[in-house]
Chains A and B, each alone.
Chain A
Amino acid sequence: MTVASPLHDADASLEGLSHDLARASLAMARRFHAGGSMWCASPAWPFHAHHVAVEFVHPVIVGKRALAAVTVPPGADVVATLRASARVGDMVVALAPADDAEVAEAMRRAPAWGLETLWIGHGTRPPAGAADHVVWLDTDDALEASEQFVRVYHLLWELTHVCFEHPGLLKPSDAECNGETAAAGSGSTVCITCSDEGRLAEVVSVEGDEAVVRTAEGTERIDVMLIDPPAVNDLVLVHAGSAITNLSTQ
């Protein structure tokens, strides 16, 4: 870091970041509005996770409502903590480099636990689809990024509260449904996320040809005859009540 040099707000990247932040804020506001909790995880920078949580729970602006945010305890296994304690409808905010394997694994499993994910980091970006929302800083400088993280989560808080002033937008509309439609431009309104094309599930227990799994909709019993017997915690794709692929053994 060049001491005392101003941060360069490259216009193009700030523009993109601001839109990513806006979409993430609306998504978080919708989850909070529906009763979800925000799990904050930062194995690399635990103080940032603590800051995000205190920001939402105890706002600096008097009169703003307290929101349910909590830190995944520093040193605790992120995957194990979320698997045990997160509920369908919750959200995860991770501040972590793209090569944080523990965070990446938690983000990968989050849809099966019914969680919406926001990944904040800097430098090399995580692969596309690694999280529902990615707010990424271009800089490779760790200290410059650390300063900008504070801005990012302050703005996340501020924008989330602005969204609460728009109650009509806090109900996810069918058309949006987190964005993706099956055939963009085809006029189809079928949503990949909502249809039964192949939903992500995590195996809770296996009993013969059946298994109990967690999905975005909660716990359900499925058929596992079409795949080799899965192990507890395997990720599988479920289609029409049957596991069709074991993602953990591929």
Chain B
Amino acid sequence: MSPETTDFLYPFIEGDETDSTTLLTDLALSARGKWAQSTALRTETLERTDQQLRTVAGEMARRLTAGGRIYAFGNGGSATDAEGVAQLYTRPPTGLPLAARSLADDQAVLTALANDIGFDVVFSRQLIAHGRPVDIAMGFSTSGNSDNLMMAFAEAARQGMLTVGLAGYDGGRMATDANLEHCIVVRSDSVHRVQESQASVVHVLWAYVQESLTARS
């Protein structure tokens, strides 16, 4: 069979597609569809977790008022969520600046711990060094299964810190971990959509903490 007779079935089989109009239209359509999915997941998540977020925010506000500090942590994109939490609490667009740090920020500490002991302890060892009972441990994971988060929650619980976890899927191991007091789950199996709604959860939780502090003063 000559190529000519089947080309119409596989127009781009030789990589000779030259007009990008169709692709660009498809990409834009796909982007709008995923945007709508993200919006729907955000709404569902914030409605379902609203009471939980208010409860957690109240406990966080109590500890922050008593001199507590937030230690946020996660791996990869979740490490950037932790970095975002540190920025939001310490340098908020409005409201009171509050004490917070990301445990993924210091490359020297991270690489020293990872190299000398192992990656499982990169957060827990920092909590051993810095943590106090009045502090707050906030861990981010989309799978809910990261070993170094489980170790960090165990250390935080041992010290009497408030433990808060944000997870995706069904919450993974974090959902049933006895060391994790508050597990906030974004119910999706898309890592991207989970992270997008986790960003919203972070913002609403922060707003409730600020409300709670205002109510106290």
Chain A residues proximal to chain B, CB less than 8 Å: 1, 3-4, 6-7, 9, 14-15, 17-19, 21-23, 25-26, 45-48, 50-51, 54-55, 58, 60-61, 142-143, 146-147, 150-151, 154-155, 158-159, 162-163, 166-169, 173, 176
**Assembly CA distance A192 to B29 (angstroms):** 30
Contacts of A150 in B (CB 8 A): 195-196, 199
How far is B25's CA from A60's CA once the two chains are assembled, in angstroms? 25
Can you report 27 A-B residue pairs in the complex whose CB atoms are below 8 A from each other? A1-B203, A3-B204, A4-B46, A4-B204, A15-B28, A18-B28, A19-B28, A21-B31, A22-B23, A22-B24, A26-B20, A45-B84, A48-B80, A48-B84, A50-B79, A60-B192, A143-B93, A146-B84, A147-B199, A150-B195, A154-B34, A159-B31, A162-B23, A162-B30, A163-B23, A166-B17, A167-B15
User: B30 to chain A: which residues have CB within 8 Å?
Assistant: 158-159, 162
B24 and A19 contacting across the interface, CB-CB below 8 Å = yes
Contact A142 B93 (CB under 8 A): yes
Q: Is B32 interfacial (CB-CB < 8 Å)?
A: yes
Smallest Cβ-Cβ distance to A61: which chain B residue: B191
Q: Is B199 within 8 A of A54, CB to CB?
A: no
Which residues of chain B have C-beta atoms less than 8 A from A18's C-beta?
27-29, 31-32, 35
Contact A14 B32 (CB under 8 A): yes
B217 at interface by CB-CB < 8 Å: no
Chain A residues positioned under 8 Å from B76 (CB to CB): 54, 58, 60
**B interface, by DSSP: helix, strand, loop or mixed?**
helix
Query: In this assembly, does B50 line the interface, its C-beta being within 8 Å of a C-beta of chain A?
Result: yes
On B, residues with C-beta under 8 Å from A are: 12, 14-18, 20, 23-32, 34-36, 38-39, 42-43, 46-47, 50, 76-77, 79-81, 83-84, 87, 93, 142, 191-192, 195-196, 199-200, 203-204, 207-208
Q: Which residues of B contact A26 (CB under 8 A)?
A: 20, 23-24, 27
**Closest CB of chain B to A162's CB: distance in Å?**
6
> Separation in Å of the A203 CB from the closest CB of chain B?
35
Tell me how far the C-beta of B49 lies from the nearest C-beta in chain A, rounded to whole angstroms. Answer: 10
| Chain A residues near B200 (CB-CB < 8 A) | 147
Cβ–Cβ < 8 Å partners of A9 in chain B: 35-36, 39
Task: List 19 extra interface pairs beyond A46-B83, A166-B12, CB under 8 A.
Answer: A9-B39, A15-B28, A18-B27, A18-B31, A18-B32, A21-B27, A23-B24, A50-B80, A50-B83, A54-B79, A61-B191, A146-B199, A151-B35, A151-B196, A154-B192, A154-B196, A162-B26, A168-B12, A168-B16
The total number of A-B Cβ pairs within 8 Å is 128
Indicate the member of B14, B81, B93, B200 with the most A CB atoms within 10 Å. Answer: B200
Q: B36 — which chain A residues lie within 8 A by C-beta?
A: 9
Cβ B20 vs Cβ A176 within 8 A: yes
Complexed CA–CA distance, A162 and B207 (Å): 37
